[in-house]
Amino acid sequence: MKKFIALLFIIAIAISGCGGNGDAADDSEQPGGSTTGKLDQIKSSGTLVMYTNAEFPPYEFIEGNEIVGVDVEIGKAIAEKLEVELEVVNADFGGIVASIASGKGDVAVSGITIDDERRAQVDFSTPYVESVQYIIVPENSDIGFVEDLSDKAVGVQSGTTGSMLVEDEINEGVLRGGTTDLKQYTSAPVAMQDLINGRIDAVVIDELVAIALANEHEAYTAMPLVYTKGSPMTEQFGVAVAKGNEDLLAIIDEVVGGMVADGLIELYIQEYSE
């Protein structure tokens, strides 16, 4: 009888040991365990998926059947560093940050301004451009300052910093209490067309985009958008990645920092502004 009980005890220990090993294997597959990071996924797939909005020259625009521009060159440099191919996805600007945050794309390079609202969703690289908000108006316009937008119809590209800045001024800034009509557009060129057609009084957009659009149309001028006290609306662009990808971000910082230091960003701006 004692031998029988001892045998049962040994069997019980063996079964318990097997169960413990099984639990350990299951734990390694639970959320929060070891997972494949974005950098490993990119290298494994052989492709870097870059989201952009190809209606923002000289940073990104369509030439023939190809998306080109300053930001595309940045994407190419990052892909080359990772030794993978670059896939450029043309998307609505307003949804780009959310697409990166959710993992639909690997990086976003689309003239995206670094701000606290976006930082809550994604991480940004070191800045590669410092830009100033500009305003496009007819040459005979009396608009010269932010304050002059009061009681005017103003066109902006939806989701851009220009849109956010003007909206902030309407809600709690120098345009508060006026009747400024802020009109949202899918792109700066579409807003520009409404300016030409007389449906709005001005377009607010980033510096180089504003200059390029004004140069395409006679009798229109682009100038820095400043307050009467003289301070301009400034911003910095960065490459966006999903949060928690420090290894990928470190490589992007190395690439972007090198391009800035070598003057490549300025050269590409000149090239794609011609």
Q: Assess whether pLDDT exceeds 80 at residue 195.
A: yes
pLDDT recorded at residue 36: 59
Q: In what order do the strands lie in the sheet with 47-52?
A: 85-90, 47-52, 107-108, 240-242, 122-124
Q: How confident is the model at residue 229 (pLDDT cuts 50, 70, 90)?
A: confident
pLDDT recorded at residue 237: 96
Residue-wise pLDDT for 51-65, tens only, equals 999 999 999 999 999
Q: What is the pTM of this model?
A: 0.73
How far apart (Å, rounded) are the C-alpha atoms in residues 81 and 92? 27
Enter the CATH code of domain 131-235.
3.40.190.10
CA atoms within 13 A on the CB side of 94: 10
pLDDT recorded at residue 95: 94
Higher-pLDDT residue of 116, 7: 116
Q: Which residue in the block uniquely carries the two structure tokens 């063996």?
A: 14
pLDDT recorded at residue 235: 86
Domain 38-128+238-273 sits in CATH 3.10.110.10: no
Q: Which residues contact 99 (CB under 8 A, 6 or more apart)?
A: 51, 91, 105, 108
Q: Assess whether pLDDT exceeds 80 at residue 30.
A: no
DSSP string covering 88-137, please?
Answer: EEE--GGGHHHHHHTTSSSEE-SSPBP-HHHHTTEEE-S--EEEEEEEEE
Residue-wise pLDDT for 129-159, tens only, equals 998 899 999 999 999 999 999 999 999 999 8
Q: How confident is the model at residue 11 (pLDDT cuts 50, 70, 90)?
A: very low
Q: How confident is the model at residue 92 (pLDDT cuts 50, 70, 90)?
A: very high
Q: Do domains 38-128+238-273 and 131-235 have the same CATH topology?
A: yes
Question: Could you give the percent of the chain with pLDDT greater than 70?
Answer: 86
pLDDT recorded at residue 28: 33
Q: Which residues contact 186 (CB under 8 A, 6 or more apart)?
A: 55, 92, 157, 158
Q: Assess whether pLDDT exceeds 90 at residue 89.
A: yes
Domain boundaries, the chain: 38-128+238-273, 131-235
Q: Assess whether pLDDT exceeds 80 at residue 75.
A: yes
